[in-house]
Amino acid sequence: MAHTPAAPFAALCAESWDALGTTAVLRHEGPAHAGARMAVERELDAIDAAASRFRADSELSRLNAMPATAPRTLLASPLFAQAVRLAIHAADASRGAVDPTLAPELAGLGYDRDWDELIAVPSSAPLADAERIVVYRSRRARWEEIEVDDDPARITLPAGMQLDLGATAKALAADRAAQAAHEASGVGVLVALGGDIATSGPPPSGGWAIHVTDDHRDGPDAPGQTIAIQTGGVATSSIVTRRWRQGSRAMHHVLDPRSGQPVWGPWRTVSVAAATCADANIASTAALVLGRDARPWLAEQGLPARLVARDGSAVVQGGWPQ
């Protein structure tokens, strides 16, 4: 196997803070840039106000709170319309694996409040703790019935439907924040929101160094792999993180639309590189759901990916380095 020499990564400014229930990181060359930081915070605040499921005043919460006995329409901000449109795009591109209409199922599993209020299961806890019999049911894909209008922006949901944009809104925020920070600073920037990484502008010497691992909180020394990208985004989805306890059972946040239950497939963590963080996030989440069908589907999409099996062994494909 040929080994590429170590890339001489440039020293970069790194600012980090808590946002959107995870860690936000802004990196770029040169000293800290207040304008770039403010641009990122504006975007994160905006997506939180539009698409948070845990804020009663968010557009998403107001839409979900409308009486669901009949179709209902919400006059929306362009950002919320974009977030909903992206969620539909995710469902369509993933053959329904990334489904934005699973909010009732997620709430039914106990994830109906802010993450800090749940009984978290550490990512180091064995995955077998979450294993159980999954009862598959016939669930009709309803995301196709969501309507998005522009000018004026408005969202129409059919009766009985509620949305959860958690799978894609954070990645959209990363893409938008990176672009805004680049426009504000004039330098190439990287924005990371947990597993979702977006870049904009010229990369530093050697590219953007990214370490993929199970849990972003474990840092760059955790088992995993370090790669470099020049443009675009990288996303990692995992079923070992964001787990909580409901009764005696450990749950996690990646649901299988076919069952409405947490995914229990062959992969525990999937990392994908794509032209945008949003596309990378859609693919990494879909791969967890698709299970054994993930590799041919990723190949069909032409996306470089690294898939970690439940036993920790990793396979790469689509140009992802060994």
**Only segment of 65-73, 101-109, 127-135, 192-200 that touches other proteins (CB under 8 A):** 192-200
Contact (CB, 8 A) for 63 and 163: yes
Query: Hey, what are 182's tokens?
Result: 């680049």
Are the CB atoms for 27 and 12 separated by under 8 Å?
A: yes
Which residues in 92-121 contact other proteins (CB under 8 A)? 92-93, 95, 114, 116
Q: Which residues contact 113 (CB under 8 A, 6 or more apart)?
A: 54
Residue of 97, 109, 192, 255 interacting with other proteins (CB under 8 A): 192
Q: Which of 72, 211, 245, 249 binds other proteins (CB under 8 A)?
A: 211
**111, 244, 264, 320: which one binds other proteins (CB under 8 A):** 320
Which positions from 40 to 79 touch other proteins by CB under 8 A, shown as an x/- string? -x--xx--xx--x-xxx---------------------x-
Smallest gap from Cβ 163 to other proteins, in A, equals: 14
Min dist CB 135 to other proteins, Å, is: 25
- The span of 100-108, 132-140, 204-212, 259-267 binding other proteins (CB under 8 A) equals 204-212
Q: Which amino acid is at 7?
A: A
Residue from the set 99, 164, 215, 256 that interacts with other proteins by CB under 8 A: 215
Determine contact, residues 294/288, Cβ cutoff 8 Å.
yes
Exposure class string for 164-181: b at 16+ Cβ within 10 A, else e: bbbbbbbbbbbbbbbbbb
- Give the per-residue SS3 of 30-44: CCCCHHHHHHHHHHH
Q: Are 68 and 145 in contact (CB under 8 A)?
A: no
By CB under 8 A, the residues from 164 to 183 that bind other proteins are 168, 172, 175-176, 179
According to CB under 8 A, which one of 66, 68, 88, 125 is a site residue for other proteins?
Answer: 88
Which 117-146 residues touch other proteins, going by CB under 8 A?
Answer: 123, 143-146
Tell me which stretch binds other proteins (CB under 8 A): 64-72, 127-135, 255-263, 295-303.
Answer: 295-303
Which DSSP state fits 303? -
- Spatial distance between the Cα atoms of 125 and 133, rounded to a whole number of angstroms: 19
- For position 285 contacting other proteins by CB under 8 A, the verdict is no
Q: What is the DSSP string of 232-270?
A: SEEEEEESSSSEEEETTEEEES-EETTTTEE--SSEEEE
What are the CA-CA distances from residue 83 to residues 48, 63, 141, 209, 311 (Å)? 11, 13, 19, 28, 35
Residue closer to other proteins by CB (options 129, 144) is 144
Q: Which residues, numbered 241-280, are part of the site for other proteins (CB under 8 A)?
A: 241-242, 269, 271, 273-276, 278-279
Point out which span in 68-76, 101-109, 131-139, 187-195 binds other proteins (CB under 8 A): 187-195
Binding other proteins by CB under 8 A: which of 64, 162, 185, 236?
236
Antiparallel, parallel or unpaired: β 233-238 and 267-274? antiparallel
Does a cis peptide bond (omega within 30 degrees of 0) precede residue 152? yes
Torsion angles phi and psi, residue 23, rounded to 5? -100, 125
What track of x and - describes contact with other proteins for positions 1 through 40 (by CB under 8 A)?
A: --xx-xx-xxxxxxxxxxx--xx-x-x----x--------
224 binds other proteins (CB under 8 A): yes
